[in-house]
């Protein structure tokens, strides 16, 4: 899910407040990915550092809450699967509810209960390449009863989440970055900033314009050539998220197996290689990039048009790539 921001490399910092805007930059490695923020403002460097620190502190909290650490809400819910409801924070409860709603929108193509599939295929800990595994059809069929967003029970009164069957596993990886971007965006906007770009591992929110009023330009990664861009977009006040089969995958006898599963079959979705979604909300963009990937080009475009969002779908057939887009993006010059 790699998207590269075309930005000014030289970062300018000022030591006092003026009416002149400068571009400030900071980055951290969080949520198992590279997170960066670029901010255009007339504040000084000390103020910028303080703001960046506040934003990244919030991202660290989200990482601990929604990741796979022993104390995360995801771990606690999974440990209690099939046993008892788990009390969660209001923040976690609302996000899980939102995920269920997006699952409804996508007819289950986006589903946060695919954690058991990630484990079975060896993607739960991607850094350990030796864990990759092609499970048998029997193994896949044995865990499919543990997959399905309708098997999540949420209780508004008690703010609890319950996975109905023992062995079920939530995985919030499909929305965690989008949620972190939403919260980072809220912090910056509440402080009055209008011109910034947030890039968390290729999921982005683009606000206003860059230094000297120039538009932000976003280069979408070519899914089969890391040295090429698929296209360049000029964007403002919108989220951009990409899901692809080229970041987390392994190959056996020339066949690629990646981490984006069809929840109904238990297998990685075939033929679609990347989906880029543009919409206002970072969480929805993040989740729909996965959901549309699983739906494929026909149903995916139908959903995009129904929701009034924009998307780019790249499909591979006999090693040839074909682009499908919503109407507004058809005039873009794609580099295949």
Q: What is the DSSP letter of 227?
A: T
**Residue 94: is its pLDDT beyond 60?**
yes
- pLDDT the model gives residue 128: 54
3-class state of residue 194 by DSSP: coil
- pLDDT the model gives residue 1: 45
3-class state of residue 239 by DSSP: strand
**Residue 129: is its pLDDT beyond 80?**
no
Q: In this prediction, what percent of the chain has a pLDDT beyond 90? A: 85
**Which one has a higher pLDDT value, 317 or 100?**
100
Q: Report the predicted TM-score, pTM, of the whole model to 2 decimal places.
A: 0.91
- Give 165-176 as a DSSP string: STT-----TTTH
- pLDDT the model gives residue 8: 33
**Residue 162: is its pLDDT beyond 70?**
yes
- pLDDT the model gives residue 130: 60
**Which position has the token pair 């990039």?**
289
Quickly count helices (H) and strands (E) in the chain.
7, 16
Between CA 300 and CA 306 the distance in angstroms is 10
248-282 pLDDT tens trace: 899 998 899 999 999 999 999 999 999 999 999 99
**Residue 5: is its pLDDT beyond 80?**
no
Average pLDDT over residues 90-119: 97
Between CA 123 and CA 213 the distance in angstroms is 42
38 class by beta-carbon count within 10 Å (0-12 exposed, 13-18 middle, 19+ buried): buried
- pLDDT the model gives residue 29: 96
CB distance 204 to 226 below 8 Å: no
Q: What is the DSSP letter of 50?
A: H
164-198 pLDDT tens trace: 999 999 999 999 999 999 999 999 999 999 999 99
All domains in the chain, ordered by first residue: 3-64+177-329 (3.10.520.10), 73-163 (1.10.3980.10)
**Which position has the token pair 């969660």?**
88
**Strands 249-252 and 255-258, how do they pair?**
antiparallel
- pLDDT the model gives residue 127: 55
- pLDDT the model gives residue 126: 56
Average pLDDT over residues 143-162: 98
Average pLDDT over residues 303-319: 96
CB distance 110 to 291 below 8 Å: yes
Q: In this prediction, what percent of the chain has a pLDDT beyond 70? A: 93
| Average model confidence (pLDDT) across the chain | 92
Average pLDDT over residues 10-27: 66
* pLDDT grade for 19, boundaries at 50, 70 and 90: low
**Residue 99: is its pLDDT beyond 70?**
yes
190-233 pLDDT tens trace: 999 999 999 999 999 999 999 888 999 999 999 999 999 999 99
Average pLDDT over residues 49-65: 97
């Amino acid at each position: 899910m790699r998207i590269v921001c075309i930005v000014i490399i030289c970062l300018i910092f000022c030591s006092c407040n003026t009416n002149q805007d400068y571009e400030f930059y900071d980055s951290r490695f969080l949520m198992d990915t590279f997170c960066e923020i670029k901010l255009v403002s007339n504040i000084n460097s000390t103020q910028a550092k303080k703001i960046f620190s506040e934003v990244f502190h919030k991202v660290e909290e989200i990482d601990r809450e929604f990741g796979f650490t022993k104390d995360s809400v995801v771990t606690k819910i999974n440990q209690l699967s099939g046993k008892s409801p788990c009390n969660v924070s209001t923040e976690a409860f609302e996000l899980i509810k939102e995920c269920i709603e997006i699952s409804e929108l996508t007819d289950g193509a986006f589903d946060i209960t695919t954690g058991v599939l990630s484990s079975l295929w060896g993607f739960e800990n991607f850094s350990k390449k030796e864990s990759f595994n092609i499970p048998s059809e029997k193994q896949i069929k044995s865990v499919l009863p543990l997959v399905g967003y309708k098997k999540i029970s949420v209780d508004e009164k008690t703010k609890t989440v319950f996975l109905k069957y023992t062995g079920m596993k939530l995985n919030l990886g499909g929305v965690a970055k989008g949620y972190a971007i939403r919260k980072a965006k809220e912090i910056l906007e509440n402080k009055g900033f209008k011109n910034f770009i947030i890039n968390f591992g290729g999921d982005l929110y683009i606000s206003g314009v860059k230094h000297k009023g120039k538009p932000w330009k976003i280069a979408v990664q070519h899914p089969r050539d890391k040295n090429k861009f698929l296209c360049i977009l000029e964007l403002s006040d919108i989220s951009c998220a990409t899901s692809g089969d080229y970041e987390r995958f392994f190959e056996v006898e020339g066949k690629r197996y990646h981490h984006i599963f069809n929840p109904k079959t238990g297998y990685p979705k075939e033929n679609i290689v990347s989906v880029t979604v543009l919409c206002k909300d970072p969480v929805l963009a993040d989740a729909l990039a996965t959901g549309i990937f699983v739906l494929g080009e026909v149903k995916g475009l139908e959903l995009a048009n129904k929701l009034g969002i924009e998307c780019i779908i790249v499909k591979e057939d006999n090693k040839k790539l074909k682009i499908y887009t919503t109407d507004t993006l058809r005039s873009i010059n794609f580099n295949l």
